Each structure stands twice: as structure tokens, then as C-alpha cells.
Amino acid sequence: MAEQRRDTGDGRGAGDGRDAGETGAPRAGEALERAWDDLVATARRTVTDGLVVGTSGNVSVRVGDIVLVTPTGVPYDRLTPEDLCGVSLDGRRVLGSLVPTSELPMHLAVYRSTGARAVVHTHAVHATAVSTLVTELPLVHYMTAALGGPVRVAPYATYGTEKLAENMLRALRDRTACLLQNHGTLTHGATLALAYDRTAQLEWMCRVWLTASSVPGRTPTLLTGDQVAEAGQRLKGYGQP
């Protein structure tokens, strides 16, 4: 890892001007190492839980002004601490030698436009299927409120392009999740755990809607906007104090 931090990709040491040894604060390098470990674990979980196949999908986490992101084309089970991959908010590679995910424009657009600290993008089966059928996920469950409201579908654009990032940002307005037409999902949050949980919730709701919609001669009962809003208020107090 020490050797990896020296190879920043732009001639600068990753720790230059960042370590706070004299103050007793944790070194920036240690924070990056922990964040990378969490990122790899989350990426592997997307495979284990069936949200991605092979190297599809990607995960990122922001540490200060550095965005750690999964590299392109590398199976998650092969990633090691030495494979740490980081970029600046303008997309310059500042950590590691691996090429970042091709979906980097989407990740950076989220960080530049929101207060998010983590982003998860998947090709989840049910969510991708729903993205081909509607422009907004029907209000089939009150957990829609946990994502900020009705989940929109971003119009299709070629993967890895700025156009896709633009479409995604519009769909994400006032939301923490969106569907990408004929593509997959994107969620964000204050932590990797929260972003991942939102991805799992979104995939589950899409599966519920598809299942209910498949019953011949029956139409799923949907919630109203007011009902979802009321659930959202209750969710704010959910859990232990």
C-alpha cells in the first residue's frame, strides 16, 4: 500500500500536504486504506447478492477531495489493497495505476452536485426490467419514501458518456436513487452501507411491482403521493435513538 500511495498517476505523492501526523489526527493514507477496503467489500457484495454479473456495475466512495472507485474490467474478487484506484473531482487519476470505471462521469456528477459520500451502480435484473417498461417506478410500496419519492427513470444514453450522467442527474433531482433506462440503477448516500441498502430496496420494490403486475386480470394497488409522504415522515424517526 505504501508503494501504491507513491504512484499517484500525476507525479504527486498521495500524502503530500495531507498527512496530519503532528496533530495526532488519523493519516489521510489510513483513511483511504479503510475506505478502499469498505469499497471492495461492497463491490463484492453486489455480486454475491446478484445485483451485478461479472464486472458490470461499479462502486465509489469519497474521502475528502479524492474519489475511490472500482477499476474498469477487473473482477471484484481479484481486487487487493494494492489495487487502490482514486481520482480527483475533475477526473484526474491521483492514486494507483489501474484505469477507473468507464462510468466515472456518473459518479463524479453525483459528487459534484450533491453531498453524497458514496455511490453504487448496478445492473440489477428486476430494476433493469422495470426501466424498460415505465418512466417512473409505480408507488407499489411505502419504502419509496426512503429514496426521496417516486423513483424516476433516466432516458437511455450510451454507457460512460456525459449525456448519461446528465440524464441521471435530472432523474436524481431531490432523490437518492434512480433507474437508468435499459441499463440499471444508481443510488447514493452518506455511507457505502446506506447507498447499498438503497440499491437493495430499489431492486426489491421493482421485483414486487413486476410480480404483482404479472398476475393475469389483476392490477396492483398503488399508494398515493400523500400516503408515501406520510410514510416518509414516520421513517425519519425509525430505528433506535
Give me the phi and psi of 233, to 5 degrees please: -65, -40
Q: Is 162 a catalytic residue?
A: no
Catalytic residue (one of 33, 103, 203, 230): 103
Question: H/E/C letters for each residue in the chain?
Answer: CHHHHHCCCCCCCCCCCCCCHHHCCCCHHHHHHHHHHHHHHHHHHHHHCCCCCCCCCEEEEEECCEEEECECCCCHHHCCHHHCCEEECCCCEEECCCCECCCHHHHHHHHHHCCCCEEEEECCHHHHHHHCCCCECCCCCHHHHHHCCCCEEECCCCCCCHHHHHHHHHHHCCCCEEEECCCEEEEEECCHHHHHHHHHHHHHHHHHHHHHHCCCCCCCCCCCHHHHHHHHHHHCCCCCC
The residues that are catalytic are: 103
